[in-house]
Structure 1
């Protein structure tokens, strides 16, 4: 079994939900009619190096082959803009 945490607000843990599933991709298809634009999927912990958000068929199969915990973080679009500019300035 895999555990999927859906995090609609990364700053408010009360909004988080979790579910034990067999197939991460199928579960996400059930949860979202359209995958949210600013969403990232992390494996075992929320960290850039653990980003397993699929971009093609190969990465979808890779995601399905992994075991463990998955964090589906839906970032507000404003936050991504702030992070982008912060990285450019530094």
Structure 2
């Protein structure tokens, strides 16, 4: 009988290894002005990079710089508050690394 080892994976540690080239002149994700709070809350909940935030005062913030380019926000809210979502230009965006 073999034992299976319990392995704990820390996703944050692996994400910290990734390299990001941010296109400061052309955001690949744009939201509508003054997005609806309920729609924005969807993005707060589903974004794996936690790029969408609402503070204690109710102020909404978003920063595309740490985007994982998974498209979750596009799927959740395209046509409502996600005005533009496209892949970053050549040599821009996330470069995944492992170990």
Is TM more than 0.5 here?
Answer: no
> Greater CA radius of gyration, 1 or 2?
2
TM range (shorter): under 0.3
Q: Could you state the TM-score of these two structures normalised by the residue count of structure 2?
A: 0.25
